[in-house]
Structure 1
Amino acid sequence: MKETIMNKNIQALLACNKEILNHKATEYSPLALAYIGDGVYEIFVRTYVINKGNAPVNKMHKASRELVRAETQAKIYHSIEKQLTEEETNVLRRGRNAKSISVPKNADMTQYRHATGLEALIGYLYIKGEIERINELINLGLMGLSNEV
């Protein structure tokens, strides 16, 4: 019950921005999509963590930090890639192949590129207003992580 309410709250929060996003998602570079996708992913992760129950903020921060690491995002990338449409796969690939100026400090380059691909996909879907699809893919990825443990 609480999770459903939280998911509806996220969708309402993100959907209110749909009116001000007046560009087509295809007009953005993969790194611009990853930039906005990083923020959207963070909201989902923090909501997921707080949904687990009230805890000291430090513990919630540590749990969130683990889920936003490039290594974890790369695992999510691999767990959802077979569930994507052709269009989504193309965006994921464009994000993964984008040449970033920054170098990751806590991940290898392959993990970092996969994480960028995931963030680009989330950004793309966000700009298109497909919040439900973002929710579906992130939940699928998080289930894949919990099955790993």
Structure 2
Amino acid sequence: MLKPTFFYNYQALEHFSVEVAYNAAIEFDSWECEEKYDDKWTCDTNNKPMFGLLATEFELDGFVVAIKGQIPISQRNSLYGKLGAQYYDYSFSRNGYTVESEYGTGVLFEAGWQYQWDMGIGMNVGLRYQDLGDLTLKSQNIGISYAF
């Protein structure tokens, strides 16, 4: 699953900021390939139903507003936590037809570690929890940022 997130972070106080973000997620087909003989391969898609639904595709769009707190460990290292509200819209589909969908508001929690270099480039690693109504997402995240 690919989960790109684009965000803007406004540093309101020394250790607190406000963040707005766009989240997305797309489920890719899984392929299984096997060599039959002498460099001849056969590949098949591994579209298994998700969550007991007759769905093989998943798509998510979400907008987040969050408060982010940071606890410095050293000059460049810090731990962070986020608490936010999000608007979400997701759907499960099969062969282009929607099987199940939902939209609404939910909460987002994230905690992790971040490192900021002098040139403004940073990286972070975190764990995220998203409540999307009937669906709950728990994910590990790796990110790159730039402060200007």
Quickly name the TM-score band, shorter chain normalised.
under 0.3
Taking structure 1 as the reference length, the TM-score comes to 0.26
* Bigger Cα Rg: 2
Q: Which has the higher strand share?
A: 2
Which structure has more relative contact order (CA 8 Å, sep 6+)? It is 1
The structure that is helix-richer by fraction is 1
